[in-house]
Amino acid sequence: MNDAPLVETRGLTKRYGRIDAVDGLDLTVRRGEVYGFLGPNGAGKSTTLRMLLGLVRPTSGSARVLGEEPGSPAALAGVGALVESPAFYPYLSGRDNLRVMARYAGVGPERVEEALETVELSGRARDKFKKYSLGMKQRLGVAAALLKDPKLLILDEPTNGLDPKGMAEMRKLIKRLGGGERTVLLSSHLLGEVEQVCDRVGVIRGGKLIAEGTVAGLRAGSGLLVRAEPLEVAAGMVRRIPGVEGVEIGEGLLRVDADPGRAAEINRRLVLAGLKVSELRPAEQTLEEVFLELTGEEGR
């Protein structure tokens, strides 16, 4: 059971009238990872997260959260979430707001101090909520989600609306939260963010999961980069090698559209022909290139 995914959906679908907000989603979030749910606005991220929390009922398909029915007491006991700005009392301090919530959640006041510590708000815990910056308000929201010491933390666009400093602090916090046993599932439309904090990424577009994998895995392109001299001669030769679909001459190197498994063969032929090969490696795309390729949309 210990290796069972914390979140697993099969064919999860939500239709609003004619809109397939979420369309046949198969999602797997593993224990201990920070999973980034990446997609442009309107892709269906929030709807998915809401289904995982039992706030929205799926049209069809299934979902399991901690092996339980989403929204069931057993599932909710192990999940903390920040899916919309939580309602805090503006005239209460950050600490008192959390104490009120802790009482409702049936957890002891010591959890309040731990949560404040985790989100680095202990020093400002006595200030009224309304005095907080947006970033601090958002971090207090994360603290509220942490009160139950959940196994799984679900964050919907946690950096939305924050200034660059607030964003950086939130990213740091998420990394820290994901460092141990806890599993974090966050949604974002920002590539850079997902690239910086997540172990694995699911890319969603039009309600469908169009790619899933590690950041490194998604980045690894299918091509090869070859640095050889003279470059033009090398280009001509590589073009004629079986299995090579195309060759582009870039800045001092060739971008070869071929299976990276062809590297040895390409190298052998160039060297045999007396060319000097100084570099030959799989082409890495930035996640941004991958994202744009997959979604065909501007990712920022």
By the criterion CB under 6 A, which residues form the site for ligand ATP? 16, 19, 21, 39, 41-47, 157, 189
User: Which residue blocks in the chain are alpha helix, DSSP H?
Assistant: 45-52, 73-77, 94-105, 109-118, 134-146, 164-177, 191-197, 215-219, 231-239, 263-272, 287-295
Q: Whole-number minimum distance, CB 145 to ligand ATP, in Å?
A: 18
Select 16 or 91, whichever has its Cβ closest to ligand ATP: 16
Select 97 or 159, whichever has its Cβ closest to ligand ATP: 159
Select 17 or 164, whichever has its Cβ closest to ligand ATP: 17
Beta strands 246-249; 152-156: pairing state: unpaired
Q: Whole-number minimum distance, CB 11 to ligand ATP, in Å?
A: 17
Q: Whole-number minimum distance, CB 58 to ligand ATP, in Å?
A: 13
Q: Whole-number minimum distance, CB 38 to ligand ATP, in Å?
A: 10
Q: Whole-number minimum distance, CB 46 to ligand ATP, in Å?
A: 3
CA 2 to CA 22: how far, in whole Å?
29
| Of 216, 237, 233, 229, nearest in space to 284 by CA | 216
CA 227 to CA 234: how far, in whole Å?
9
CA 195 to CA 174: how far, in whole Å?
13
Select 47 or 183, whichever has its Cβ closest to ligand ATP: 47
Select 157 or 195, whichever has its Cβ closest to ligand ATP: 157
